[in-house]
Amino acid sequence: MKKTNYPKHSILAVAILLTWIKTYVVYHTSFDMKIENVMQQFILFINPLSFLLAVYGISLFFKSAKARNRYLLITSSILAIILYANVAFYRFFSDFITLPVLFQTSNFSDLGASAAETIYVSDVFYFIDVLLLFAAIKWLPNAKEATIVKPAIRRAYFVISAAVLFLNLGLAETERPQLLTRSFDRELLVKNIGTYNYHIYDIYIQSKSHAQRALADGSELVEVNNYVRSNQAEPNYEVFGTAEGKNVIVVSLESLQTFVVNEEMNGQVVTPFLNSLTKDKDTYYFPNLYHQTGLGKTSDSEFIVENGLYPLGGGAVFFTNSGNTYNSMSEKLNEKGYFTNVMHSNNKSFWNRDIMYDALDVDKFYDVDSYEVAEGDAVNWGLKDIPFFKQSVNHMTEMQQPFYSRLITLTNHYPFHLEKEDQFISEYDSNSGTLNRYFQTARYMDESVKILFDELKAKGLYEDSIIVMYGDHYGISENHNEAMSQYLGKEITPFESAQLQRVPLFIHMPGSDQGEVVEEVSGQIDIRPTLLHLLGVETSKDMQLGADVFSKDHEEFVIFRDGRFVTDKVVYAGNVCYDKETGEETEAAACAPYIERAAEELGYSDKIINGDLLRFYDEKTGNLLIDQAKDKK
């Protein structure tokens, strides 16, 4: 055979380069990914590389040229099919493939029909790298030569491929902190770690929850059920059903904490409209309600409100358990004839909402595509709250009534940027730009809520609706304690930090004349039973862990996702028991009985979610389906 000057591993290099370049071109031509700066462009460019180096690198173990070439071709074809499947899926769903979609059998008919429609002859382009690799194997002179690779060389090769992966992850982490721990958006994942790595990550997350699910059986429900039943709170029949038949409008107030309500900042009122609601004759205001979210932030609060269960301790339950059986508030209201929907002007795959809302039985998701985002109308991650509310109310006028709409706001979100024309008050003057701007965006949110009320009145929807608004989670993290302590005029101890987890809840019932400030210590987990009971919907058979705040049985005991808790007497934080009244450390015995119960309750909630136990429960009869086969549903 003729000797050539081609480098020894040129066929491997050709395979990697072809798939790499094709993937990068496909990113730009076939997906709609917003690239905001040069760094993001660079990350997008290098993100296929680490995976391709590793997977094609396996060919270095093959001793014969024929086997090696066959491996390279098969790998190249599989990768082309995976990428192409994503392209075809994206054309129809504007989203990347995630395993649960493939498992949800109801999606198959959709998928099949849409796939046929979205395949074109020109799609052979997506396989061009396979064809070129085939040609290279045929024509490249040294492609037929076997190359024996020394183990040391192979090791060096894989070290380099790992180094590329870490470089990629490092850059992604600076660009999007907590990307992997929170896994908040598929588009962001693909943008930062690449399609191929994303699929591995997706398989990892999904198989973890599948394994836990497979091991669970109905008998685990016995203990959970006993706990839930013994902690159940009877409705208060004085208020039960007082909002029956009304449209339900639930508003998630992004990052709004109670510390700004009824307060001033440098002589400026932060939330004038919400302040007026705290004294309004038709509004229940809850100043002592705490958020209970974990890493899943907004989505965790949605999960709590819909299901009356805690989110998970690690990762966002919207991602990890979107294939579970739930008995959500949407499902219950669907059964009462409500049209259930969520409105949020962001990319629908954020927090895996598009998939999770199916599991929660939400009839329709009005995502960013249902909104007109005119020039100058967007800030941070999407449409500003004022145009968002206006357009949302327009959608409501077209809905079948009664409806249950959950509106998720976005403007009061970190890093709290706002254009000049939307700044109704000046900034604060601490060393934290974040806190300084937070007051302005909170003020903007207040204005937007006022406009929501005005719009509902103008469109004739107000009188027939009940409006529930809650802060989803904290906006100011502990990184800003110094600035926070300047504002509050006191040191931020673990006690104060826990108290800062209060988020406001308003339940506004036009014409009810029932308004009051409900001082009861409560949590987001109580919202579901409280609201359902106001609507006259029983929850006595539901597998939920919250309790109706109006019930005489409601206990003042709020458990945070991280194990901290608050009662009417104590606050347990940083492993210290504090007297709630004074904020001073108190004897551990005052907290001791609750520590175990907090862990127990969180444990039961985790058990329900990880084992997907609601598939073994009949909420109509309250029967446990213990003898059912494990693979039910």
Out of ligand GP9, Mn ion, none, what residue 350 binds, judged by CB under 5 to 8 A for its kind, is: ligand GP9
**φ, ψ of residue 583 in degrees (nearest 5):** 75, 10
Pairing of strands 283-286, 516-517: parallel
Q: Which helix (H) or strand (E) holds 559?
A: strand 557-559
Q: Rounded to an integer, what distance in angstroms lies between the CA atom of residue 357 and that of residue 335?
A: 16
Provide, rounded to whole angstroms, the least separation between the CB of residue 261 and Mn ion. Answer: 17
Out of Mn ion, ligand GP9, none, what residue 259 binds, judged by CB under 5 to 8 A for its kind, is: none
Does the protein bind Mn ion through residue 446 (CB under 5 A)? Answer: no
Structure tokens at 139: 């024509």
Does the protein bind Mn ion through residue 412 (CB under 5 A)? Answer: no
Provide, rounded to whole angstroms, the least separation between the CB of residue 471 and Mn ion. Answer: 9
Long-range contacts of 19-25 (CB under 8 A, 24+ apart): 19/48, 19/52, 19/56, 19/76, 19/79, 19/80, 19/129, 20/48, 20/49, 20/52, 21/129, 22/80, 22/83, 22/126, 22/128, 22/129, 23/48, 23/83, 23/194, 23/195, 23/196, 24/48
Return the number of the residue (187 or 542) whose C-beta is nearest ligand GP9. Answer: 187
Return the number of the residue (254 or 496) whose C-beta is nearest Mn ion. Answer: 254
Return the number of the residue (324 or 349) whose C-beta is nearest ligand GP9. Answer: 349
Does the protein bind Mn ion through residue 298 (CB under 5 A)? Answer: yes
288-315: buried (b, 16+ CB within 10 Å) or exposed (e) per residue? bbbbbbbbbbbbbbbbbbbbbbbbbeeb
**Nearest in space to 337 (alpha carbons), one of 509, 533, 507, 535:** 535
Structure tokens at 248: 């339900």
78-97: buried (b, 16+ CB within 10 Å) or exposed (e) per residue? ebbeebbebbbbbbebbbbb
Return the number of the residue (125 or 381) whose C-beta is nearest Mn ion. Answer: 381
Pairing of strands 403-408, 339-343: parallel
Return the number of the residue (134 or 381) whose C-beta is nearest ligand GP9. Answer: 381
Return the number of the residue (350 or 404) whose C-beta is nearest ligand GP9. Answer: 350
Does the protein bind Mn ion through residue 448 (CB under 5 A)? Answer: no
Q: Rounded to an integer, what distance in angstroms lies between the CA atom of residue 559 and that of residue 505?
A: 17
Q: Which residue is nearest to ligand GP9 (CB)?
A: 297
Provide, rounded to whole angstroms, the least separation between the CB of residue 177 and ligand GP9. Answer: 11
Q: Rounded to an integer, what distance in angstroms lies between the CA atom of residue 28 and that of residue 45?
A: 10
Return the number of the residue (129 or 306) whose C-beta is nearest ligand GP9. Answer: 306
**Interface of this chain with Mn ion, residues 548 to 577, rule: CB under 5 A:** none
Return the number of the residue (168 or 411) whose C-beta is nearest Mn ion. Answer: 411
**Single residue of 186, 199, 246, 297 touching ligand GP9 by CB under 6 A:** 297
Out of ligand GP9, Mn ion, none, what residue 412 binds, judged by CB under 5 to 8 A for its kind, is: none
Of 228-236, 329-337, 407-415, 517-525, the segment contacting ligand GP9 by CB under 6 A is 407-415
The strand pairing partners of 251, in sequence order, are 407, 469
**Interface of this chain with ligand GP9, residues 383 to 402, rule: CB under 6 A:** none
The strand pairing partners of 570, in sequence order, are 579
Which of 75, 195, 283, 298 is catalytic? The answer is 298
Of 252-260, 395-403, 533-541, 543-551, the segment contacting Mn ion by CB under 5 A is 252-260
Does the protein bind ligand GP9 through residue 350 (CB under 6 A)? Answer: yes
Does the protein bind ligand GP9 through residue 561 (CB under 6 A)? Answer: no
Whose tokens are 């027939």? That residue is: 464
Of 356-364, 406-414, 479-487, 508-516, the segment contacting ligand GP9 by CB under 6 A is 406-414
Structure tokens at 190: 């693909």
Helix or strand or coil: residue 571?
A: strand
Q: Rounded to an integer, what distance in angstroms lies between the CA atom of residue 313 and that of residue 306?
A: 18
Return the number of the residue (98 or 298) whose C-beta is nearest Mn ion. Answer: 298
Provide, rounded to whole angstroms, the least separation between the CB of residue 113 and ligand GP9. Answer: 29
Of 118-126, 133-141, 249-257, 445-453, the segment contacting Mn ion by CB under 5 A is 249-257
Does the protein bind Mn ion through residue 411 (CB under 5 A)? Answer: no
Q: Rounded to an integer, what distance in angstroms lies between the CA atom of residue 258 and that of residue 518?
A: 14
Interface with ligand GP9: number of residues (CB under 6 A): 8
Does the protein bind Mn ion through residue 472 (CB under 5 A)? Answer: yes
**Interface of this chain with ligand GP9, residues 298 to 317, rule: CB under 6 A:** 298
458-489: buried (b, 16+ CB within 10 Å) or exposed (e) per residue? eeebbeebbbbbbbbbbbbeeebbebbebbee
Does the protein bind ligand GP9 through residue 340 (CB under 6 A)? Answer: no
**Nearest in space to 226 (alpha carbons), one of 528, 523, 529, 543:** 543
Return the number of the residue (47 or 392) whose C-beta is nearest Mn ion. Answer: 392
Cβ partners under 8 Å of residue 551, min gap 6: 233, 234, 235, 236, 529, 533
390 touches 449 (CB < 8 A) = no
Q: Rounded to an integer, what distance in angstroms lies between the CA atom of residue 21 and that of residue 547?
A: 56
Provide, rounded to whole angstroms, the least separation between the CB of residue 296 and ligand GP9. Answer: 7
Structure tokens at 458: 């103008």
**Interface of this chain with ligand GP9, residues 190 to 249, rule: CB under 6 A:** none
Provide, rounded to whole angstroms, the least separation between the CB of residue 298 and ligand GP9. Answer: 3
Provide, rounded to whole angstroms, the least separation between the CB of residue 185 and ligand GP9. Answer: 8
Does the protein bind ligand GP9 through residue 346 (CB under 6 A)? Answer: yes
Out of Mn ion, ligand GP9, none, what residue 346 binds, judged by CB under 5 to 8 A for its kind, is: ligand GP9
Does the protein bind ligand GP9 through residue 413 (CB under 6 A)? Answer: yes
Provide, rounded to whole angstroms, the least separation between the CB of residue 422 and ligand GP9. Answer: 18
The strand pairing partners of 494, in sequence order, are none
Does the protein bind ligand GP9 through residue 524 (CB under 6 A)? Answer: no
Provide, rounded to whole angstroms, the least separation between the CB of residue 610 and ligand GP9. Answer: 22
271 is catalytic: no
The set of catalytic residues is 298
Which residue ranges make up the site for Mn ion (CB under 5 A)? 254, 297-298, 472
Contact residues toward ligand GP9 (CB under 6 A) are 297-298, 346, 350, 381, 408, 410, 413
